[in-house]
Amino acid sequence: MCGLAIEVENGEVASIRGDAADPLSRGHICPKGAALGALHDDPDRLRYPLRRTRGGDFARVSWDEALDEAATRIHAIQEEHGRSAMAVYAGNPTVHNLGALLYGPLLLRGLRTKNRFSASSVDQWPTMFASYFMYGHQLLWSVPDVDRTQTFLMLGANPVASGGSFMSGGDMTVRLRGIVARGGRLIVVDPRRTETAAIASEHLFIRPGTDALLLAALLHEVLERGGLRPGHIASLLRGQERLPGALRSFTPERAAGPTGIDADVIRRLAGELLSSEGAVVYGRLGTSTQRFGATCQWLINCLNIVTGNLDRVGGAMFTEPAFDLVHPPPSIDFGRGSFGRWRSSVRGLPEFGGELPVAVLAEEILDANPNEAIRGLVTSAGNPVLSTPNGRRVDEALRSLDFLLCIDPYVNETTRHADLILPPASPLERSHYDVAFNLLAVRNVAKWSPALFPPSGDTRPEHRIIAGLLRHLGRARGEGALDAAKWRALEELGPDRILDLGLRLGPRGLRQGRKGLSLRRLSREVHGMDLGPLEPCLASRLPAEHAYVDLAPEIFVEDLARLDDELPASSSSSSSPQTARKTAPATFRLIGRRHPRGNNSWMHNVPKLAAGKPLCTLLMHPADAKDLGLADREEAEVVTRIGAVTVPIELSESMMRGVVSLPHGFGHGRSGVKLRVATQRPGVSMNDLTDPANLDALSGNAVLTGFLVDIRPAR
């Protein structure tokens, strides 16, 4: 999303710098952006389609052969076992890829299956869930107004490493420092003193997984002291009368024991939220991937509303993207959301937004009744073996499929199981516009970049792969010439034409008359266009079918009882690890982390990013390590019900006692992975420890943080 100035000499990337004139990133560049050239040139990046051979290796095939075989096998599976015997998983890079994003819905619809999965259910489902029930649209998210806020209470996020996420902006460190510099306060709540906590006004350790209690206590306190002061959105609210009663028992004293944060501190935080001219509460992956993920997000939204900070300058604001997925142009509808229209077959978990939780993928392949089991899978830009719970079982499940098709540039932990791999063009070989992240940007901006190079080798941009696959599938299904012509047209059309349509029909398009935005107009602005700071706009952002904000949807109010039950009032979960005998393993809570030199599971093959200090270590407080008899860099064995990994520890005062941190996305040592750089420092996969049974009960999002592990010296 950052503006990049890329110099090309003789058809090769000569340099990549941050574009100082970019209205959003203002010259910032991170190691991943600087690595795009190396990624483009990576010899391991696939340059042509691959087909599994009888010997189990891969051999080159033509696109026609590959698409034809894919279509024939998908059709055969669906004919014999029903539509939903085919499943689809869309991974994270989809949202960073214009073609994959705009053509993705066609793929989902075209496969006609109820077994749809994506990385959303190991990530931001709770946020989408809260938005769906409160605002009536799963994509209507608020963004912290980081540049104007006075008090920023941040939980479970590390934007200095991650770049911001639901607060996209590029130069996040500069923006966050800005809060402190202008006399405001940045308060970070995290079980690790992170890179973000290090530049904050205040850092509070919290016991992993207990944020919902802290948030409930804050809301209780704010309601007691300030009452409901929603400001100009008051007329949009419903359900407010139910809040005080629902939260009555959640006092700061109730929260103090389990969270490890004093009642007085909680009271002070509530006071700060009430007295600030512009305050915002923000929670991200750490509050999302836990047992109360959705409830955390509901409470966060409520705090912002009740203190008058939702849709207010300096608070939690809404974007007005030029290409708008909330009020999309016809034919590009991602949907308002839905819940419980169908269920998974083994555990009976409800769909959300047309998807099932990816934590059930393996069991729907391995454990379902024969007439309901998944037999074939298409993955697009995803690596579920490393990114979803119990990766070893996902491995086993993928191995057992009748057919696996992967749209992916690498032979990695997931795609090594594929029957066919279809390689997309590189990021420098396709045009780009940030349809997804402009929804989450801290300023309204629009920027389009053309492809720098034509697709290398025999690769194709995503839109051609998807439309091509659907054309072949249509033929296998016996569709007529008209359909074939439609798919051909879509193969030719490409995402830029759809983008153009979306811009013209969007809020800054034709409605603005001759000045209106079009792709042509935008393409002349090489640095992108600044469309101004976020402005109060909630009333116009709410969908017509749900033109109100529900403060107390039943599903969340009821969940407070589970919260009360599950988190004991006193701190039985003491903050020191419990070691019974010297030789027995100690019990810790495991959390994850991200690093600027990595991107989930798939950028460890770039030499520059892989070099330097090894990243896959288990951070542990020195006193805990001493108790265990472990020295820095010595190996520890980490065990759960699901599996065990052996990993060097790294002593760090930044860790809360009794909590350890492991990055996810490693574990490249599996056989058959063709990543020459990444496999040299394979690391271990955190998801060989995570438990698919451990979910946020409301949304079905996976719990990836704060679960118990046993640790002992590995020697």
Ligand X SMILES: Nc1nc2c(c(=O)[nH]1)N[C@H]1C(S)=C(S)[C@@H](COP(=O)(O)OP(=O)(O)OC[C@H]3O[C@@H](n4cnc5c(=O)[nH]c(N)nc54)[C@H](O)[C@@H]3O)O[C@H]1N2
Q: Does 382 bind ligand X (CB under 6 A)?
A: yes
Cβ atoms of 48 and 26 closer than 8 Å: no
Binds ligand X (CB under 6 A): choice among 168, 390, 449, 599: 599
Q: Which residues of 333-366 are buried (b: 16+ CB within 10 A; e: fewer)?
A: ebebbeeeeeebbbbebbbbbbbbbbbbbbbbbb
Q: Which two tokens stand for residue 67?
A: 């698409």
Query: Rg of the Cα trace of the chain?
Result: 25
Given candidates 128, 137, 706, 709, which one binds ligand X under the rule CB under 6 A? Answer: 706
Q: Which of 103, 292, 602, 666 binds ligand X (CB under 6 A)?
A: 602
- Candidates 15-23, 123-131, 183-191, 570-578 — which segment interacts with Mo ion by CB under 5 A? 123-131
Binding residue for ligand X (CB under 6 A) from 687, 694, 699, 701? 687
Q: Is 137 in the site for ligand X (CB under 6 A)?
A: no
Among 23, 337, 384, 507, binds ligand X (CB under 6 A): 384
Residue 87 binds ligand X (CB under 6 A): no
Q: List the structure tokens of 304.
A: 């912002």
**Residue facing ligand X at closest CB distance:** 286
State the Cα–Cα distance between residues 35 and 260, nearest whole angstrom: 41
Q: Which residue from 165, 168, 449, 701 is in contact with ligand X, where contact means CB under 6 A?
A: 165
Binder of ligand X out of 69, 123, 320, 324 (CB under 6 A)? 123
Backbone φ and ψ of 474, nearest 5°: -60, -40
- In the block, tokens 């890329």 appear at 6
- Residues in the chain, overall count: 715
**Dist. CA 53–CA 401, nearest whole Å:** 16
SS3 labels along 87-134: EEEECHHHHHCHHHHHHHHHHHHHHCCCCEEEHHHHCCHHHHHHHHHH
Least distance in angstroms from the C-beta of 123 to Mo ion: 4
| Minimal CB distance residue for Mo ion | 123
Which stretch of DSSP H or E encloses residue 360?
none
Q: Does 211 bind ligand X (CB under 6 A)?
A: yes
Among 67, 74, 310, 381, contact with ligand X (rule: CB under 6 A): 381
Of residues 61, 279, 436, 686, which one binds ligand X by CB under 6 A?
686
Q: Closer to ligand X by CB, 161 or 435: give it.
A: 161
690 binds ligand X (CB under 6 A): yes
Tell me the torsion sign for CA atoms 358, 363, 366, 370.
negative
* The token pair that represents 441 in the structure block: 């940007």
The span of 23-31, 121-129, 221-229, 507-515 binding Mo ion (CB under 5 A) equals 121-129
Which CB sits closer to ligand X, 206 or 377?
206
Closer to ligand X by Cβ: residue 336 or 593: 593
By CB under 6 A, residue 128 contacts ligand X? no
Per CB under 6 A, which of residues 235..294 are in contact with ligand X? 284-287, 290
CB burial of 83-121 (b: ≥16 within 10 Å; e: otherwise) equals: ebbbbbbbbbbbbbbbbbbbbbbbbbebbebbbbbbbbb
Nearest to 690 by CA among 592, 619, 567: 592
Q: Is 558 left (phi over 0), alpha (psi -120 to 50) or beta?
A: alpha
Closer by beta carbon to ligand X, 2 or else 490? 2
Between 120 and 345, whose beta carbon lies closer to ligand X? 120
Judged by beta carbon, residue 115 or residue 124, the one nearer Mo ion is: 124
Smallest gap from Cβ 348 to ligand X, in A, equals 24
Q: Give whichever of 449 and 600 is closer to ligand X, judged by the CB atom.
A: 600
Structure token pair of residue 444: 């309204």
- Is the separation of the CB atoms in 121 and 700 below 8 Å? yes
CB 542, min distance to ligand X, A: 25
Residue 382 touches which of Mo ion, ligand X, none (CB < 5 to 8 A by kind)? ligand X
Q: Which of residues 170-209 bind ligand X (CB under 6 A)?
A: 189-192, 194, 206, 208-209
- Nearest C-alpha neighbor of 657 from the set 617, 701, 691, 622: 622
Amino acid at 182: R
Among 123, 171, 324, 434, binds Mo ion (CB under 5 A): 123
Tell me, by CB under 6 A, how many residues bind ligand X: 62
Q: Which is nearer to ligand X, 207 or 508 (CB)?
A: 207
Yes or no: say if 451 and 8 are a contact pair by the CB < 8 Å rule: no
* Binding-site ranges for Mo ion (CB under 5 A): 123
* Binding-site ranges for ligand X (CB under 6 A): 91-93, 97, 100, 119, 122-123, 155-159, 161-163, 165, 189-192, 194, 206, 208-209, 211, 284-287, 290, 380-384, 387, 407-410, 412, 424, 591-596, 598-602, 664-665, 686-687, 690, 704-706
